[in-house]
Structure 1
């Protein structure tokens, strides 16, 4: 009984970290996911044939967490491309909260409207992987570290294969399209900078996505992990101070009170994440994501032509 009680407490600690920090990301995106939208928006000034962009993915494409009127990165990106090229821009947003990479792949294979948009697009931006990783951690919260690492590795292999198939499916529809893959990040970092499990899992998923992206032509990886994970703790001194102040470096029952005290603060510690769920980017976070994305697009395309 005593062993079971300790295991139950340990499970509560891990579940608390994974679920409460993000205010139940799974509830926001998996249990009650948004219906998903496909917005086509065109600039009024027309110089030549419009630039067509497909935004495909999960809540980071849908724009969850953004309390401005910009609705995440797609609208921001549309405006930047329009201002840069002085061309008409058609942005099609196919972001749906809660979707894993296999569900995004399934839409690509069976959603006729999405497939038609991809066929005619110049650019495709993809966000995927956050739900794959989070749901794996949730399902295995009571496993020991070695068992959890094995489950994360298995999920990572599946994720990598799904990303390969998404890229392949896009290429079959449109061989000339340029694909931009945005990394995932660790929204728990500023609260638990010394807990290696989540950090290493995020890195592993991003490495897989980057390897898939780098293996093909006209595909580019946008790494927002460091900036969005670390927030304003953007120097060695600030990071060291953050880590020194954190009292949680292992997952054990004694961490519970410390974790509860930290997470009861309603103000998000990371300036790039939402105060509402402590998980998704806020307006500043989407600004950063769009900045990195647009810089890569300018470098790797000739949109003004």
Structure 2
């Protein structure tokens, strides 16, 4: 049989060749797409930093309780965001991580910093701030008027043990970063009988200072005096946490300490 003078087998041969060409072209396109997708995926994976890394930025890591969290500040910034804003004006490559937890005690902070993710952040940090002890001392907002001497001693001893372990754990992860340890204040200074609470806070601050001296690169930032003379002016409506002005002063103190440390003071 012939079609327009050509044998049938010639027509079949042409069709077969065309089909093979189409199949080969499709295979090459699919292979290219597969290779491209794999390459793109590898680039995306390598370009995404691992959890905990901060790139080329210097890390300021804030740890602690509701003061670090910013409780009582109408804007929710607290001292950490105030410090961050100032640092970023002078150092464009600053990254801040706030790990403060409202109501956190020294025992809970001990457990928190043992987490793998936080351990990575501790290793990378260039500055570390800590507020801890207020919830141990005041039992989440309670006055010390009902606390007997033995209970007060036991609470302080537990705090001292926890604080040592906290600082020791941090130093195992990071030997060089300065740690700015904020002191405690007395939120009940406006009460008629504030001598007992003030005396106890001073004892705790003495313990804090003594323990800080056992480690290198730890700067104690005192804030007791800010609230002592006129606590109502610097406390939130709950009469326990700092208000906006209180956080302004805390941030100012911390920035002064950071500046002095940077200059080698």
Higher relative contact order (CA 8 A, sep 6+): 1
Q: Offset at 1:52?
A: 0.7
Equivalent-residue separation in structure 2 for 1:169 and 1:91 (angstroms) = 21
Which has the greater radius of gyration?
2
Distance 1:172 1:284, change over 3 A: same
Corresponding residue number in structure 1 for 2:228: 229
Normalised by the length of structure 2, the TM-score is 0.74
Equivalent-residue separation in structure 2 for 1:229 and 1:61 (angstroms) = 20
Q: Offset at 1:139?
A: 10
Name segments (4+ residues, structure 1) moved above 6 Å: none
Tell me the C-alpha RMSD between the 2 structures.
2.4
In 1, are the aligned partners of 2:144 and 2:197 still within 8 Å (CA)? no
Corresponding residue number in structure 2 for 1:68: 75
Alignment of 1:145-164 (within 5 A): 148-164=148-164
Alignment of 1:46-85 (within 5 A): 49-69=56-76, 71-84=77-90
5+ long unaligned stretches in structure 2: 1-51
Q: Report how many aligned residue pairs link the two structures.
A: 212
**Which stretch of the first structure deviates more once superposed, 285-294 or 205-214?**
205-214
Normalised by the length of structure 1, the TM-score is 0.65
249, 271, 294: which one aligns with 2:233 = 271
Corresponding residue number in structure 1 for 2:125: 121
Alignment of 1:187-198 (within 5 A): 187-192=187-192, 194-198=193-197
Distance 1:78 1:135, change over 3 A: same
Q: Offset at 1:195?
A: 2.9
Alignment of 1:285-304 (within 5 A): 285-301=246-262
Equivalent-residue separation in structure 2 for 1:278 and 1:140 (angstroms) = 14
Corresponding residue number in structure 2 for 1:210: 209
Distance 1:140 1:227, change over 3 A: closer
* SS of residue matched to 2:234: coil
5+ long unaligned stretches in structure 1: 1-39, 43-47, 232-268
